[in-house]
């Protein structure tokens, strides 16, 4: 990364015209040290600092494209380990998760209209205060139907360093050839990995307007020699609190709406992920309807 990749920001409203995510700032709390890292060797990221009651808090915003939407990956003990002990709260447009981040700091992570917001501080009280006062003052119509493939860094040639990033960059991304909606979720992007004429992985991304809620249908070949194609759905890990065994196996978090389902059909393994804000009562039907809708995924490519 060069110094030219990072710029000092004086006008956030002007910057909003260039970012692949909606910008969130604080309500009536001054921000300082505002910088923006442009897409380059790393993905676009906005950073700034705030002071609350003498405590400095650091804010980081970006579009998370290398993992299922809405998961608070920064609150893991490490990037390949379990989550720290988490609590959460739900607002109209986002679920906020609180815990310790991978640096051991008090932190929060939220997914709000497609923007991943990560906040770090010394006390959970002030992290919560700031997290719940984030607003998007520069709502922009271009985000209403902006698909994953246009938001994503790794779907557009970004160089991966980690296997989860590599999964996205290895796929060839395109728009669907036909319209497909499941309730309020509409198919906006399809990624496909093919080797020697054989399909090894297909990811279908569904989203609502402004990416308020999203779902991925990830279909992978379990016999493939390509590593890390299949999500390891397991009990434990300090995140999911409800598990349903069977076909599909389902894990979800009751208070936030995040869910993952997984089932096998021959050598194919399908993983369906739901972002926050889905009601517990709609998860099972939605997973079933997404499975049915994507049975003939080839027709949309």
Q: Where are the domains of the chain?
A: 3-142, 144-300
Q: Specify whether the CB–CB gap between 195 and 226 falls below 8 A.
A: yes
Q: What mean pLDDT do residues 19-26 have?
A: 96
CATH tag for 144-300 (out of 3.40.1000, 1.10.1760, 3.40.50, 3.30.930)? 3.40.1000
Q: What mean pLDDT do residues 274-279 have?
A: 93
Q: Specify whether the CB–CB gap between 262 and 248 falls below 8 A.
A: yes
Distance CA 300, CA 174 (A): 10
Q: Specify whether the CB–CB gap between 59 and 119 falls below 8 A.
A: yes
* 300: pLDDT strictly greater than 70: no
Sign (positive or negative) of CA dihedral 203, 187, 260, 150: positive
- pLDDT tens-digit map of 198-214: 889 999 999 999 999 99
- pLDDT tens-digit map of 92-147: 889 999 999 988 899 999 999 999 999 999 999 999 999 999 999 999 899 999 99
End-to-end CA distance of the chain: 35
pLDDT top residue among 234 and 274? 274
144-300: same fold as 3-142? Answer: yes
Q: Specify whether the CB–CB gap between 276 and 94 falls below 8 A.
A: yes
- pLDDT tens-digit map of 173-230: 999 999 999 999 999 999 999 988 888 999 999 999 999 999 999 999 888 777 778 8
Q: What pLDDT shows up at residue 229? A: 81
Q: What mean pLDDT do residues 19-43 have?
A: 94
By C-alpha distance, which of 65, 67, 61, 153 is closest to 108? 61
* 297: pLDDT strictly greater than 80: no
By C-alpha distance, which of 145, 191, 199 is closest to 170? 191
Task: Provide the residue count of the chain.
Answer: 301
Q: What pLDDT shows up at residue 93? A: 87
Q: Specify whether the CB–CB gap between 131 and 115 falls below 8 A.
A: no
Q: What pLDDT shows up at residue 111? A: 94
Q: What pLDDT shows up at residue 4? A: 64
CA distances to 92, 207, 212, 218 from 186, rounded to whole Å, are 21, 5, 12, 15
Two tokens, residue 265: 């059909």
- pLDDT tens-digit map of 262-271: 998 888 899 9
Average pLDDT of the chain is 90
Q: What pLDDT shows up at residue 77? A: 72
> b/e for 157-173, b at 16 or more Cβ within 10 A?
ebeeeeebbbbbbbbeb
Q: What mean pLDDT do residues 38-50 have?
A: 96
CB neighbour class for 61 (10 Å; exposed up to 12, middle 13-18, buried from 19): buried
> Considering the entire predicted model, what is its pTM?
0.93
Q: Specify whether the CB–CB gap between 223 and 264 falls below 8 A.
A: no
Q: What pLDDT shows up at residue 1? A: 47
Report residue 257's pLDDT band, with 50, 70 and 90 as the boundaries.
confident
Class level of CATH domain 3-142: alpha beta
């Amino acid at each position: 990364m060069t110094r030219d990749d990072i710029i000092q920001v004086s006008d956030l409203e002007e910057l909003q015209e260039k970012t692949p995510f909606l910008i969130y700032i604080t309500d009536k709390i001054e921000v300082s040290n505002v910088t923006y890292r442009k897409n380059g060797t790393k993905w676009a990221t906005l950073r700034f600092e705030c002071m609350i009651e003498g405590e400095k808090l650091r804010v980081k915003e970006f579009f998370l494209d290398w993992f299922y939407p809405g998961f608070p990956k920064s609150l893991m003990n490490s990037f390949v380990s379990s989550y720290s002990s988490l609590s959460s709260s739900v607002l109209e447009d986002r679920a906020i998760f609180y815990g310790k981040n991978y640096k051991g700091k008090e932190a929060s992570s939220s997914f709000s209209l497609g923007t991943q917001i990560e906040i770090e501080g010394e006390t959970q009280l002030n992290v919560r205060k700031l997290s719940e006062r984030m607003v998007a003052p520069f709502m922009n119509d271009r985000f209403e139907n902006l698909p994953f493939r246009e938001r994503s860094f790794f779907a557009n040639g970004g160089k991966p360093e980690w296997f989860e990033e590599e999964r996205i960059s290895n796929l060839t991304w395109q728009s669907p050839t036909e319209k497909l909606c499941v309730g309020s979720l509409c198919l906006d992007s399809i990624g496909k990995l093919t080797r020697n004429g054989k399909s090894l992985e297909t990811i279908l991304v569904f989203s609502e307007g402004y990416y308020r809620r999203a779902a991925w249908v990830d279909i992978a070949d379990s016999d493939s020699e390509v590593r890390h194609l299949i999500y390891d759905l397991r009990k434990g890990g300090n995140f999911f609190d409800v598990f349903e065994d069977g076909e599909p196996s389902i894990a979800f978090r009751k208070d936030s709406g995040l869910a993952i389902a997984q089932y096998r059909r021959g050598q194919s393994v399908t993983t369906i992920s739901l972002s926050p804000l889905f009601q517990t009562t709609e998860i099972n039907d939605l997973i079933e309807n997404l499975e049915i809708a994507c049975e003939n995924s080839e027709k949309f490519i």
